[in-house]
Chain A
Amino acid sequence: AQSVTQPDIHITVSEGASLELRCNYSYGATPYLFWYVQSPGQGLQLLLKYFSGDTLVQGIKGFEAEFKRSQSSFNLRKPSVHWSDAAEYFCAVGAGTNAGKSTFGDGTTLTVKP
């Protein structure tokens, strides 16, 4: 079975600074990879996804993520963080033929300092 690890429970960055959120997965082959964002009291919104092809994928709100097979990682990045980016971020993995279920990491809470 696949698993997802988000090593950082909480990250604080200053507005305008760059951001990198880490995600490591465990799966025997290349899985489908996702990043979701959740603002307080709301549902999750898909930021970006990787299925195959170019290992650097662009998403909404200026986010990008890079798939590194050798490191089993799919880290999320943003060059300049805005205060509105404060939220919780979830990495997810989809793999196998299991009714389309995804496995989610425990999330990373992002705080943005003014």
Chain B
Amino acid sequence: SQTIHQWPATLVQPVGSPLSLECTVEGTSNPNLYWYRQAAGRGLQLLFYSVGIGQISSEVPQNLSASRPQDRQFILSSKKLLLSDSGFYLCAWKGDSAYEQYFGPGTRLTVT
């Protein structure tokens, strides 16, 4: 069966520090991968998606970037964090079934 992992689970970082969040999927190949952010009490905002290795599409201009160095690995990064980057970051994958997405457990990021 397929599983999706995210780490770390929680992170507290000072403003201006770098960021690296990792997402890995097991049990599937060539999935579409997605990064979402969920601000407190808000809905989901799609940040990036990827349909293959090295292929990244950005949905909104921001302080973040994404990379997909391997088929089942998706990384969210920042060179310098802002207070507004705080939130709950979710990674998701989509397999062969159209549009059906499966989410990881999320990373809670607090920028201080």
Given A41-B108, A43-B90, A94-B98: A104 touches B44 (CB 8 Å cut-off): yes
The interface size bin for chain B is 20 to 34
When each residue 82-100 of chain B gets 1 if its CB lies under 8 Å from chain A and 0 otherwise, what string results? 0000001010101000111
Give the CA-CA distance A90 to B46 in the complex, in Å.
14
Contact A106 B42 (CB under 8 A): yes
Given A90-B43, A90-B44, A107-B43: A102 touches B101 (CB 8 Å cut-off): yes
Name the CB-closest residue of B to A49: B100
Give the CA-CA distance A99 to B57 in the complex, in Å.
10
Q: Does A114 sit within 8 A of B, measured CB to CB?
A: no
- Give min CB distance, B53 to chain A, whole Å: 14
Which chain B positions have C-beta within 8 A of A90? Answer: 43-44
Name the CB-closest residue of A to B49: A99
B binding-site residues for A, Cβ under 8 Å: 32, 34, 42-44, 46, 49, 51, 57, 88, 90, 92, 94, 98-106, 108
Give 17 CB contacts A-B under 8 Å: A41-B106, A41-B108, A43-B90, A43-B106, A44-B90, A45-B103, A46-B101, A92-B101, A95-B99, A99-B49, A99-B51, A100-B98, A100-B99, A100-B101, A102-B99, A105-B43, A106-B42
Additional A-B contacts beyond A34-B99, A43-B103, A101-B99 (8; CB < 8 A): A32-B98, A41-B88, A44-B92, A46-B101, A49-B100, A99-B49, A100-B101, A104-B44
